[in-house]
Structure 1
Amino acid sequence: MAKNYDALADSVVELVGGKDNVRSVVHCITRLRFNLKDKSAVELDEIKKIPGTMGAQWAGDQLQIIIGQDVDKAYDAICKKYAFQQQKTVNENLDAPKKKFTVGAFMDAITGCIAPIIPVMIACGMLKALLQVLSYAGVLSVDGSTYNVLSVVGDVGFYFLPVIIGYTAAKKFNVNVFIGMALGACLIHPNFTAMINAGDPITLFGLPVYSGYYPSSIFPMILTIAVAAPIEKFINKVIPSSLRYVLVPTLTLMVVAPLELIVLAPLGAYAGSYLAAAIVWLYNATGFIGCAILAAIYPLIIMTGMHTATSPYIFSALATYGYEPLILPTMHISNYNQIAACLAVGLKSKDSTLKQSAFSCALTALIGGVTEPALFGITIPLKTPLYGCMIGGLVGGAVLGLKKVVVYSLPGAGTIFGLPAYIGGGSLSNLMWMGICIVIGMVSTFVATMVLYKPEQK
């Protein structure tokens, strides 16, 4: 990785067509993302040769330059040197016109509601996993006060998910965030929960209210806020400005809350449960073959960005079943295979620069769980290491499916620090088999890459 970020900034800006060709530049966890006026001015092949870059590609009209974990330093250097306005988010193309409804836009909306909450879900999941480790080790008793208090802390991210999603969805759909949170709180209010637990019919204005269990749910709130957005906008338009402060939130809540309880939340609950049930059915129907194929093609899924669309299912499965058997375990296998492929390239390559880059990408994936530098900087450009990863995924995924390894909470990035998420089911056997699957996948990937990769073929 280049240490001179000013030099990298100069080279990048020059090769994208100069400062005047840049509409805006943002960055994600590994990539610089440029929105440009003239795409033809970009020298893509030359950008890939800049020291410190790991690749470059077009994603629609957006130019993405892969830097790795030091992308923030490169981004700061570019913004400071060329006086670009620094942005905090990269969830959407800032210059793109508003799009009509499409499946892609729908998935983007769902992902935009879920992505911001992932850190707290990981934190709560890891705390629950740590408590299981401490209880197995005899450090904490499950009947003790300390265990139960910490268990409450671990549960809050899941139990109050409707409130949290109410906030993120409101931001995504441009609704008053506090109205969004209030609508989420309606679904888990103690009195409402007590009425559901009592088992008696619940009605609102004579209409039946579905007696559903909404803690840990996602779709009910996303659907509710999506409907609340045009309602709030309409109310805001027709109410005089002098009365908006009081009447807009009041009327929005009065209109949307009944719709939520009678129609929207039940529809969302059914959608989430059926989605999870469908994928779990597919997992049970295909068995180890499905796991093997998914683990083999997972690098391609990441390459196309389709992995972000799996978040709704993952949350629904964890909430419905208490575990997730397919996406997260195969992702973990795929991540470790990238490490093995990079190690093989680093050991076999005769190019000192490529060696250093391969080992750096392996370390980045191992410690940080960020595989994009490995994927876009090593395995995809060299091709044969990618084939090695797919072979390793096929083998490791098959064992994964045969032993029915599942994950019990969000592991975060697919690194060693995420392995406690596989502790559950009353024993450590699930964790043990996950470790075995990782080793099998890595060994298979390493051997396949050593055989397939020819240093002179790039």
Structure 2
Amino acid sequence: MSTDKNRATAAAILPLVGGPDNITSVAHCMTRLRIGLRDRSLVQDEALKALPAVLGVVDDETYQIVLGPGAVARVTPEFEALVAKARTAAPKPVTAAELAAQGAALKEAQKQRNATPVKLFLRRVANIFVPLIPALIGCGIIAGLNGLLTNLGWAPGIVPALAAIASGFMSLIAVFVGYNTAKEFGGTPVLGGAVAAIIVFPGVAKIDAFGEHLSPGQGGVLGALAAALLAVQVEKGCRRWVPEALDVLVTPTLTVLVSGLVTLFGLMFLAGEVSTAIGTFANWLLATGGAFAGLVLGGLFLPLVMLGLHQALIPLHTTLIEQSGYTVLLPILAMAGAGQVGAAIAVYCRLPRNGSLRTTIKSALPAGFLGVGEPLIYGVSLPLGRPFVTACVGGAAGGAFVGLFNQLGVGFGSTAIGPSGWALFPLLDGKAGMGATVAVYAGGLAVGYLAGFTATWFFGFTRQMLTDLNTDPEPAPPTPEASKEPALT
């Protein structure tokens, strides 16, 4: 039955994005179905938003349909299957000229609006790490369970097995990062993985670089990212001058050799220094200016989520997890979701007669409490404008609370990335003990909820907004004034 529901959702989405011939690529992240389009004008945005399974849409470099965690992983393969089936049943050749005619204007407009070099690079970095999130979550939760069993002294026979399961992926994450980096930047994925594998090879301990022995894993994911990027450039250079008859032998050999030597005698050391500096700076920042740092980080995170750039923080989180076992940044950033929830509840209370908007809030709040913010962002606060700002105020207050306790010595973080809100509780870890860690995080959520609610209640609406939005969903007929629809219903 569940499969039928997912297939029905995919079938409903496909014609609203222009049909199979308008699709150039299909992928998904934690919550969004990401579709490459030939012609953006064929997409029916309002009809898509009206589908019960669709929580929101984002028009970015790819067209992103927010379906929520779990659902997106099930709908995406059904969507891909429908696209493939339709193309097989009714193939329509598309020439390069036709493609150019359909998409050139849209692509140029998008480039001018969004494709700054920094934003493009950040999106590509996010594309490298997003496919790794499910494994990071699974291994992080298992690591948390293992830590709990260890502290309680339960099931000592299973603890080593859980440790192996939780640590195996993290010990080889550099290889996956290298593979995805080469794939994203146009190289041969396995060559990127091969070069990145050098970083975690135990034998590097016998090699001296910059006057000291290397350590397996030195440089971590940042070193793997840099090594694979170098491998892509070497490979592309080889493709240009190596004769075709020798390409299959010479290109991969030179790619691995040149990139490997540079990695061993340069990148591992440099990336290791950068990784250490990131960890040191993050800990120093929260230890000395925790409240202010938390305020800034918690307040600015919702705009990053809105732009889809929050995924670019994954390398930083992963680096911190590699170094200390948890990322101290994620619990603070999670406060942005608490501010969003508080703001949404205030909107619900301030607009008692807007049935449509209240229904949207009721359906999106459970996901919001679990840290999935897109439904509330795109369905409630962002369209209203002011409540989005007051939601950021709530996030800033919650972030300042958590940051303050970091400054007071109750430092903690998350053993994995991905979950947020209440879903982050099983992943919390810190040096102050689980009781204090859970209490501070829960207190931060409470502060975020309360500040987001209060700021939205008092400052989230103008008088005119309340007049326009707080309307009876079933008005008495037909005067011109009464027949005007609310702005967001």
TM bin (shorter chain):
0.7 to 0.9
Q: Counterparts of 2:135 and 2:65 in 1: how far apart (Å)? A: 29
Quick check: 124-133 or 240-249, which moved more?
A: 240-249
Are 1:9 and 1:74, in contact at CA under 8 Å, matched by a contact in 2? Answer: no
Q: Does 1:261 align with 2:264?
A: yes
Given candidates 303, 307, 312, the residue that maps to 1:309 is: 312
Are 1:361 and 1:373, in contact at CA under 8 Å, matched by a contact in 2? Answer: yes
> Taking every aligned residue pair, what percent have the same amino acid on both sides?
21
Q: Counterparts of 1:276 and 1:155 in 2: how far apart (Å)? A: 20
Q: Does 1:300 align with 2:303?
A: yes
Rate the CA distance shift 1:68–1:238 in 2: closer, same or farther, 3 A. same
Partner amino acid, structure 1, of 2:201: H
Quick check: 422-431 or 222-231, which moved more?
A: 422-431
Shift in Å at residue 115 of structure 1? 2.2
Given candidates 175, 181, 205, the residue that maps to 2:187 is: 175
Given candidates 157, 165, 178, the residue that maps to 1:153 is: 165
Partner amino acid, structure 2, of 1:35: L
Partner amino acid, structure 2, of 1:379: S
Q: Does 1:439 align with 2:439?
A: no
TM-score (normalizing by structure 1): 0.78
* Superposition RMSD in Å: 4.0
Rate the CA distance shift 1:416–1:252 in 2: closer, same or farther, 3 A. same
Given candidates 219, 222, 236, the residue that maps to 1:219 is: 222
Rate the CA distance shift 1:277–1:96 in 2: closer, same or farther, 3 A. farther
Rate the CA distance shift 1:445–1:270 in 2: closer, same or farther, 3 A. same
Q: Does 1:332 align with 2:334?
A: yes
Rate the CA distance shift 1:31–1:146 in 2: closer, same or farther, 3 A. closer
Paired position in structure 2 for 1:199:
none
Gaps in structure 1 of 5+ consecutive residues: 87-92, 197-201
Shift in Å at residue 376 of structure 1? 0.9
SS in 2 for 1:407: strand
Are 1:56 and 1:64, in contact at CA under 8 Å, matched by a contact in 2? Answer: yes
Q: Counterparts of 1:118 and 1:301 in 2: how far apart (Å)? A: 18
Shift in Å at residue 285 of structure 1? 4.6
Are 2:390 and 2:455, in contact at CA under 8 Å, matched by a contact in 1? Answer: yes
Partner amino acid, structure 2, of 1:334: A
Partner amino acid, structure 2, of 1:172: E
Rate the CA distance shift 1:325–1:22 in 2: closer, same or farther, 3 A. same
Given candidates 100, 123, 130, the residue that maps to 2:145 is: 130
Quick check: 336-345 or 118-127, which moved more?
A: 336-345
Q: Counterparts of 2:32 and 2:262 in 1: how far apart (Å)? A: 41
SS in 1 for 2:401: helix
Q: Counterparts of 1:157 and 1:420 in 2: how far apart (Å)? A: 19
Structure 1 outlier segments of 4+, above 6 Å: 1-4, 41-44, 81-86
Given candidates 108, 111, 121, the residue that maps to 2:126 is: 111
Shift in Å at residue 214 of structure 1? 2.0
Q: Counterparts of 2:76 and 2:260 in 1: how far apart (Å)? A: 46
Shift in Å at residue 213 of structure 1? 4.9
Given candidates 355, 360, 364, the residue that maps to 2:358 is: 355
Paired position in structure 1 for 2:199:
187
SS in 1 for 2:275: helix
Rate the CA distance shift 1:167–1:449 in 2: closer, same or farther, 3 A. same
Q: Counterparts of 2:177 and 2:306 in 1: how far apart (Å)? A: 28
Shift in Å at residue 288 of structure 1? 0.2
Are 1:30 and 1:372, in contact at CA under 8 Å, matched by a contact in 2? Answer: no
Paired position in structure 2 for 1:59:
60
Equivalences, count:
431
Shift in Å at residue 374 of structure 1? 0.9
SS in 2 for 1:423: strand
SS in 2 for 1:360: helix
Gaps in structure 2 of 5+ consecutive residues: 89-102, 470-489
Paired position in structure 2 for 1:416:
422
Q: Deviations over 1:394-442 (max 9, x none)?
A: 3222211111143141142214232122123261111221112112222
Quick check: 388-397 or 19-28, which moved more?
A: 19-28
Paired position in structure 2 for 1:90:
none
